[in-house]
Amino acid sequence: MSAPLVPNLFNVCEVLTLAIVWIVDQILYGLASVIPPLTGLAQWFDPAYRDRLLLTPLAAEPLIIVITWLIAVTVIVIWATLFNLLTMMWVERKFYSRLQDRYGIMISIWSLPFWPFNRTRRPTHRGTGYLQNIADGVKLLQKENITPRNADSAMFHISPVLIASSTLMIFAALPWSSGFYVANLDLGILFIFAAFSLAPLGILISGWSANNKYTLVGGLRAAAMLMAYAIPMILCVIALVFYTGSLNPLTIVRQQERTLVSLGPIGIPAWYIFSPQILGFIVFSVSMMAEMERVPFDIPEAEGELVEGWTTEYSGMRFGLVFGFKWLRMIAGAALITILYLGGWSGPVFTTLYVGGVPVPIVPEEAWFLLKVYLVSVVFIWISWSVPRVRIDQILNIGWRKLIPYSLATILIAAGSIAWGVWAVG
Amino acid sequence: MDVDWELIAFLILSAFEVIGSILVVVNKRMVRAAFWLAMTLVTIGVIYLLFLSEFVFLIQILVYAGAVPVLFVFGIMLTRRKIMDEPPTEAAP
C-alpha cells in the first residue's frame, strides 16, 4: 500500500500557520519597542508567554484554527487552478496540435522580456509552450470588461461568479489522496454532484441576461443538456452504491485496493471497472463528457450556428473564467471517474524511504491519482478532437433513449450480481 | 462571554431567506425572480445543515437549487412571446 505525500492537510497547514504567526509576532515585538501598547498583543501570540500564563496553546485558539482552515482551502484552490488547470490546458493544446499534425504552442522561457540571460542566441519560439497559457491569462486580464447594451447588468455579472464558485466547491470534497483533502464528508460523492448541479442555473441566467439571441439559444441548449445528462450519472452512482454501501470517496477507494485475481505475477486489482459495472463506467464517462460540454456534445457552443454559445458576450477575464473553468470541470469529472471506477490513488506497492525517521514514499498516492486523472482526461481530449459534433435531436436521443435505459440496466445488474454473490462486497 | 453562534447563523440565514422570498414575489422580471427563488432554496438548505441533517441539505441543493429554478426559467422562456428587450426599431418622436 502506497503512502500519501501529505499525511494530513490540516496538520501541514497548521505548521504553516504557526510559522506565519511566529514571523508576525517578531514584527509585532519590533513594533512594540517603538509603540509600547502593542506589547500585550505580541505576548498573546507568543507561545512561551502563553505557557507562563497557563493559557491554552496557540494551536487551540479559534482564531488560529479559522486561519488554518482558510490556508488549507487556499492550498487546494491554488493546487487545482494554478497547477492542474494550467497543465491540463497545456496538455490539451499540445495534444490536439499533434493530432492535427502541427507543433502547437511553442513559446519558450527565452521570450520573457525580462529574462536576464543572452536572448540573442536563444530561440524564443522553440520551447515547450507552457508559458503560453499564462500569457493568455495576462492578456485577458488587461482587456476591458464590456457589458452589452440592454443587458441585465447585475445578472450578467453574477453568473460567472455562480459558475466559478460552484466549480471550486467541487474541490472542497474531492480528495487527491488519502491525506490530501479539505473535508472528509460521509456523503462526499453526493456533495460533488450537488456542486455540479448548480452550474446549469448560472449558464441559463448568463445566456438570458446578455440580451443576445445566440447566447439565449446557447444557454437553453446547455441547461437542457446538462440537466438531461446528470440523470444517467446519478443512476450509475446509485448502481455503484450497491457495491460500496457508502458515498464516502475514501471508503470507496479503500474497497478497491485489494487484489481481485492473480494472473501469474500480475494481480488484477478489484477496481469497479473490472466488476459487472463496466457498463456503468461507459455510461458514466459518456454523460461526464456531455456534462463538460466537450466536442461530441458541444451543441451549446456550436461555432457554426451560435457564435460562441452562451459565452459570446463575455469579454476580458470574465470570458477567461467561464472558458477556463470548463477545464477545471473536466479535471473534477476525470477525478470522479478515477475515484469511482479506476481505483483512485491505489497503485503498485513500492518501498518507502525513511529520511530521519520520517517515511517518504517513492511513488506517493498523489502521483498515482494524478497519473490516472491525466490519462482519463487525455482520452477525453482524444475523443473530442476525433469525432464530429452530434446534432441536437441526436443528443436528446442519446441521452433519453440510450443512456438512461442503460443506466437503469446497470442498477438491475448490480442488484442481481449482489443477490447471487457474483461480486464479493469489499 | 458566551455567544450562541448557531442562533446568530440562523438569524442571518432566515433574514436572507425572508428577503429572498419577498423579492421573488415583488420582482417585475421573471428570470430575476427565479434567481431569488434559487437563493431562497439554498438558504433553506443551509438551515437544514444547521440542524445537522447533511443528507437533506445535499438533496435540497441537488433537486431544489439545481433543478427547480432551471425548470421555472425554462417555463418562463418557453411561454412568453417576447423574452429579450429589443431596441426600438424607429426613433421616438
Q: pLDDT confidence of A334, banded at 50, 70, 90?
A: very high
Domain spans, chain A: 122-419
Q: pLDDT confidence of A353, banded at 50, 70, 90?
A: low
State which residues form the domain around B18. 5-79
Optimal mutation site among B35, B54, B78, interface A, most CBs of chain A within 10 A: B35
Contact state of B67 with A191 under an 8 Å Cβ cutoff: no
Return mean pLDDT, chain A. Answer: 84
* pLDDT score for A284: 92
* pLDDT score for A57: 78
Element of type H or E holding A361:
strand A358-361
* pLDDT score for A331: 92
* Residue B53 domain-assigned (yes or no): yes
> What percentage of chain B exceeds 70 in pLDDT?
84
* pLDDT score for A282: 92
* CATH (domain of B43): 1.20.120.1200
Tens-place pLDDT, residues A175-231: 988 888 888 888 889 999 988 888 888 888 888 888 888 888 888 888 888 888 888
* pLDDT score for A323: 86
* Residue B62 domain-assigned (yes or no): yes
Q: Is the pLDDT of residue A375 over 90?
A: yes
* Residue B92 domain-assigned (yes or no): no
* pLDDT score for A358: 67
* pLDDT score for A47: 79
Q: Cβ of B53 under 8 Å from any chain A Cβ?
A: no
* Residue B20 domain-assigned (yes or no): yes
Q: Cβ of B8 under 8 Å from any chain A Cβ?
A: no
Q: Is the pLDDT of residue A378 over 90?
A: yes
Interface of B with A in 10-39 (CB under 8 A): 29, 31-32, 35, 38
* pLDDT score for A424: 64
Q: What residue has cell string 440562523? A: B10
Q: What residue has cell string 487546494? A: A76
Tens-place pLDDT, residues A127-172: 788 888 888 888 889 988 888 887 788 888 888 988 899 899 899 8
Contact state of B38 with A201 under an 8 Å Cβ cutoff: yes
Optimal mutation site among A65, A185, A205, A227, interface B, most CBs of chain B within 10 A: A205
Tens-place pLDDT, residues A117-138: 666 666 777 778 888 888 888 8
Instruction: Supply the DSSP string of A224-270, one letter for each residue.
Output: HHHHHHHHHHHHHHHHHHHHHS---HHHHHHHTTSEEEEETTEEEE-
Give the minimum alpha-carbon distance from B57 to chain A in angstroms, rounded to a whole number.
9
Chain B residues with CB inside 8 Å of A220's CB? 74, 77
Q: Which residues of chain B have pLDDT under 50?
A: none
* pLDDT score for A199: 85
* Residue B86 domain-assigned (yes or no): no
* Residue B91 domain-assigned (yes or no): no
Q: Which amino acid is at A180?
A: F
* pLDDT score for A425: 60
Tens-place pLDDT, residues A27-85: 888 888 888 888 888 887 887 788 787 777 777 778 888 888 899 889 888 988 888 99
* pLDDT score for A333: 92
Q: Cβ of B66 under 8 Å from any chain A Cβ?
A: yes
First-last CA distance in chain A = 16
| Total structural domains within chain B | 1
* pLDDT score for A206: 87
CA-CA distances (angstroms) from residue A239 to A247, A263, A280, A356, A418? 12, 28, 8, 46, 11
Contacts 24+ apart (CB under 8 A), A400-409: A400/A228, A403/A229, A403/A232, A403/A283, A403/A286, A403/A287, A404/A231, A404/A232, A404/A235, A406/A232, A406/A279, A406/A282, A406/A283, A407/A231, A407/A232, A407/A233, A407/A235, A407/A236, A407/A239, A407/A280, A407/A283, A408/A235, A409/A279
pTM of the model: 0.85
* Residue B87 domain-assigned (yes or no): no
Whether the Cβ atoms of residue A182 and residue A172 lie closer than 8 Å to each other: yes
* pLDDT score for A318: 87
The residues facing A263 across adjacent strands are: A266
Contact state of A204 with B73 under an 8 Å Cβ cutoff: yes
